[in-house]
Amino acid sequence: MSDVKRTEGEWREILTPEEYRVLREKGTERAFTGEYWNTYEPGTYSCRACGAELFRADHKFESHCGWPSFYDSIDRSRIHETVDNTHGMRRVEVTCAACGGHLGHIFPDGPKPTGDRYCINSVSLRFQPLAKAPGE
């Protein structure tokens, strides 16, 4: 059950049209166009809609699919998985457990240790770089 409750009108006020399309209407951004598909700095990725921390940069890997890909989440209880049979495919959709925002899909073709590939829309995420110590 989602903890963050907002009306669709409230979501429209706080999200850009593209964020709303992906997070609330289960859209997908085009491959290789998102802000984070090729970002590998240390830090944390949070849900763009509600701020829940979802993924760590050290779990990110290059999957060559054009979207940010992670082999694990910070805590699997922060993500809901639901079977998605749309578009003539059988996939598993992942949403933010806190707000219900659509993040992307999970596939069983990732690297060890999990074998999972969380294929996530950049527009569903907000990246927080790891703070550097003074003098770095």
Q: Which residues are catalytic?
A: 119
What secondary structure letter does DSSP report for 29? P
Whether 27 contacts 102, CB under 8 Å? yes
Question: What is the Cα–Cα distance from 93 to 95, expressed in whole angstroms?
Answer: 7
Query: How far from chain centre, in Å, is Cα 117?
Result: 11
